[in-house]
Homo-oligomer: A and B are copies of this chain.
Amino acid sequence: MSVGAVSRALSADKTLSIREETRERILGAAKMLNYSPNHAARSLRMSSTGLIGLAVHDVSNPLYSDIVAGAQTAAIEAGYVLTLTDADVLATDEEVFRRLVASKAIDGILLQTVDNSADSIIAKTAKTLPVVMVNAESPNPEVGSVTVDDHQAALLATNHLLELGHRKVAYLTIDEHEDRAARRLGGWRDAMIDAGLVPQARWIVNGGHSSEGGMRAMEAIISTPEMPTAVVAANSLIALGAMKACQAAGLQVPDQVSIVGIHDFPTAAYLNPGLTVVSLPLRQLGERAVQLLLDQREGKRPVHEKLSAPAAEVIARGSTGPCPGSTHLR
């Protein structure tokens, strides 16, 4: 019984011919001693760590937690372990980047960013390690990416309001990736046009990317002469801020103003009123991202993929209702 045989027995090498008794003795001893092959030695020899990184902007952003969950599932299924890192730290701290990425402490990296601050990382990394952008389109042919149907989400959100009889529907834009922001804005615009309405420029207000920004934006809307009766927020955190602004101004939601956000999140149902949202398949986004990463690792060309199933979906809760004064009851 030699070290070689032990190694092969433990990794369940099918090509190893060995006496059954010997194999059992090996397995038994390993269990007994609680033996696990040393990660560093293994990685060095195999030039593969079995780890895949997911760099996220703001780990605790409730809107994106499903992405993490999905990636987790897919990674484990594929025999990998997922480790999360702070995307901003990675982009900012040269040393962290070296230690984790440039040194190949991981086999590949998923990037869930919110702006282009990580573009330099990407450029540096893509030659070394497979990289996949999650929820943003890759500007770089060496980097894969997956997105969801942002246009459709905003379209659905707007249509939901239109069906409730609203005509003056404002839109609170998001400060994140420009392309993503543009796609969502486009969804609102197209829905308005399809309904024969004119998407007024003054109904478009920058909602930032947080509740704080949403509140400011809604305050601006409220002070508008001809105030809209409904608002689509480019994400649900913005929507939350918008609700707060309404409440502060003494406006009833949904009786006087209807609000809908993009992305469902755990506490949306527990707000007062519950927030109507459009949900997107973020869990599947995370899963798919891992699969693409693994494909790249096997030498496939990086691709961009738009996830269209499961489709975006309106989850109606209390924050949207019929347009006041409208006879258009559904």
Q: In the docked arrangement, what's the CA distance between A317 and B221, Å?
A: 25
Give which listed residue, B34, B93, B243, contacts A270 with CB less than 8 A.
B243
Would you call A84 and B81 a contact (CB within 8 A)? no
- CB neighbours of A104 from chain B (8 A): 38-40
Instruction: Give how many A residues have a beta carbon under 8 Å from the other chain's beta carbons.
Output: 57
- CB neighbours of A98 from chain B (8 A): 36
Give which listed residue, B43, B60, B95, contacts A40 with CB less than 8 A.
B43
Supposing A84-B84, A247-B272, A266-B211 touch, asked if A105 and B59 sit within 8 A by C-beta, the answer is no
A35: min CB distance to chain B, Å: 8
Which residues of A, 146-189, contact B by the 8 Å Cβ criterion?
A: none
Q: In the docked arrangement, what's the CA distance between A49 and B105, Å?
A: 9
Which residues of A, 46-66, contact B by the 8 Å Cβ criterion?
A: 47, 49-51, 53, 59-62, 64-65
- CB neighbours of A59 from chain B (8 A): 59-60, 65, 68, 84
Supposing A60-B61, A215-B270, A240-B267 touch, asked if A36 and B103 sit within 8 A by C-beta, the answer is yes
Interface centre among A60, A65, A89, A95 (most CB of B within 10 A): A60
Would you call A39 and B83 a contact (CB within 8 A)? no
Q: In the docked arrangement, what's the CA distance between A270 and B92, Å?
A: 30
Q: Show 5 A/B contacts (Cβ-Cβ < 8 Å), sorted by A.
A: A34-B102, A40-B41, A60-B65, A211-B269, A215-B270
Interface residues, chain A, with chain B CB atoms under 8 Å away: 34, 36-44, 47, 49-51, 53, 59-62, 64-65, 68, 72, 76, 79, 81-86, 89, 93, 95-96, 98-100, 102-105, 124, 211, 215, 237, 240-241, 243-244, 247, 266-267, 269-272
